[in-house]
Chain A
């Protein structure tokens, strides 16, 4: 038999039909949130179409929900309508939803895996680009637009072409303090935000198999920031023990049967990728973005770039524009950039392991005087409970952080959590676009431990220099 990549195995096992290179692909899991679904449900209603397979859907409000006291409800009337519209649609179409006050509520990409709703071998979609996160489980997971959300609700299928395949090998061991976030940013720094366009990325190599599921999710989450619609990691023991005994996971005999299939979900030894990129895990340093795109990134030992040294006029202009927007001088050492706010959260870095990592740095410390606000927003209600059980909330609060309710929060500032114009934030989220965290706000993407360290010093510091 011909050697296949993981992507090919996943894709081919879901083909309903093919028409001249255009495929109808069957979808196992459909995650739904309040922002990209209302127009899709409206479309179903107008055309009197039912949902094809209710059981495949798991819905949750996350983008608009407040992270402060929820007994007060949602104060922004427009956000409120959007969240209520999701409630209504789920009731009307008979879909499982974790509403705002359910303790299982959280960011859609955190709760899917947490509930065992994300399983190896599945095709998973969501009207959200960071759906690539779920690829960490050896699944084919992709973000889709609202028309496609409606298409999947109505037909359980997605119209797709095959992507090209890219293998990203990270060989060797990561150094202490280096995380999946640093791998992701280092990769994007190397291939650019369009480097993965048209590809499905498979992450492999020793540094990757050493990662926990949380780390793999962080990495796959940011595959979209490298332009790839899907990122994935082969199934191994780490994957299987993570999915074991989750609420939606198969149990008993069904689990055993699933397990023997899941173990086949890796690229065959001689499988051919259209492209291979290699990084040396050993050489990856803590990463910090300086500009307005995730590819504008350097290590903590680096400096902001000098546009004068760039020969390509369009690249030079992007550097100049980004430095102006970010309020930074060229050739400025990253460790000299001082910070106004800290955000630990988002579907990239709000899982229990991320909070442990940050708390570990903060233990017994206080945030610097120049930090106006430091937020921790757990990825889900269950992450929050677990953290409280471990006493992490106390470490954060004693250090001067605010301990919030779960949601997207200041990752995209659709709720009340945001930066004011000119404010600078060390953020564990995934996008540093202009205005992403609030109009005029300046975002630096970092790992949770780097964000925690920056909160203590009031500027970026090398996590490796702290013990």
Chain B
């Protein structure tokens, strides 16, 4: 996992609420047994006019010019900003893989669905929750200023606006630590394998029917 410390990038506005994981990565792409290669199919049904299937030649597909990520000014965007309850629906981590593979590193929204939120951290993506008013304000600024960019400072937990104004954000300490150091959860938990064994011993003594 790529460590995340500080990041500066252009914002792409996805002005919809309740964007579900089926929209983020349609199910036909879940048939892959790999973790990579989902980026080209991020928001497939919105991005392309034709219906996408795995293995298609992307250069032959017709893009939907109205969809925000197809607009030239957002081509280099690395920060996605959207509305409430982003990532609702299924637990598919493919949604986080697709967003990361596409090139995003940060998602800003008033709220996220729980499983998606936790999947982000496991893949070097930083989801940040801001109050609706802040999100509203950012949307307006993006629409008014071409190339609107922000700096996200994870260590100090603030976002720097082009005006140099800083907005602080909350992030769980454990998740921050893992993200900043690019740490893999499994490796960390393995360090506690003795505690797990000790727990099992007393647990199965008490709950012997589980054996």
Contact = CB atoms under 8 A, between A and B. Distances in A.
A39 B96 CA distance: 14
A250 B208 CA distance: 10
A144 B174 contact: no
A145 B119 contact: yes
B172 interface: yes
A434 B209 CA distance: 45
B153 interface: no
Interface string B103-124: 0000000010111001100110
Contact of A28 (B113, B196, B210): B210
A193 B186 contact: no
A194 B111 contact: yes
Contacts of B90: 128-129, 143
B31 A154 contact: no
A196 B104 CA distance: 28
Contact of B91 (A26, A42, A127): A127
Given A145-B115, A227-B113, A413-B27, A36 B18 contact: no
Interface in A185-233: 193-194, 197-198, 227, 229
Contacts of B26: 435, 439
Contact of B190 (A154, A159, A439): A154
B189 interface: yes
A17 B91 contact: no
A284 B97 CA distance: 40
A99 B100 CA distance: 33
Contact of A151 (B91, B185, B209): B185
Interface in A148-183: 148, 150-151, 154-157, 159, 161
A258 interface: yes
Contacts, number: 171
Nearest to B118: A145
Interface stretch (B57-65, B141-149, B199-207): B199-207
Interface string B41-57: 00001000001001100
A144 B209 contact: no
B161 interface: no
A227 B196 contact: no
Contacts of A143: 90-91, 115
A262 to B, nearest CB: 10
A351 interface: no
A82 interface: yes
Contact of A49 (B186, B195, B210): B186
Interface stretch (B6-14, B81-89, B162-170): B81-89
A79 B30 CA distance: 9
Contact of A197 (B33, B113, B123): B113
B209 A258 contact: yes
Given A39-B33, A147-B122, A414-B30, A194 B113 contact: yes
A38 interface: yes
Nearest to A230: B114
Nearest to A26: B199
A434 B91 CA distance: 17
A412 B27 CA distance: 7
A134 interface: no
B138 interface: no
B195 A16 contact: yes
Which of A24, A28, A78 neighbours the largest number of chain B CB atoms within 10 Å of its CB?
A78
Range, interface on chain A: 35 or more
Contact of A156 (B54, B119, B196): B196
A155 B22 contact: no
B35 interface: yes
Contacts of A435: 22-23, 26, 45
Given A146-B93, A147-B185, A197-B111, A16 B192 contact: yes
Given A19-B174, A64-B31, A439-B45, A129 B115 contact: yes
A439 B123 CA distance: 28
A72 interface: no
Contact of A16 (B88, B123, B196, B208): B196
B91 A144 contact: yes
B174 to A, nearest CB: 4
A429 to B, nearest CB: 12
Nearest to B136: A314
A35 B30 CA distance: 7
Nearest to B196: A16
Contacts of B23: 433-435
A96 interface: no
Contacts of B16: 318
Given A78-B32, A434-B23, 10 more contacts: A78-B31, A78-B55, A143-B91, A145-B118, A157-B189, A194-B88, A194-B111, A198-B114, A258-B207, A293-B20
22 contacts: A20-B173, A39-B35, A128-B90, A143-B115, A144-B91, A145-B93, A146-B93, A146-B94, A147-B122, A151-B185, A156-B196, A227-B113, A250-B209, A258-B209, A314-B17, A318-B18, A412-B27, A414-B28, A431-B22, A433-B23, A434-B22, A439-B45
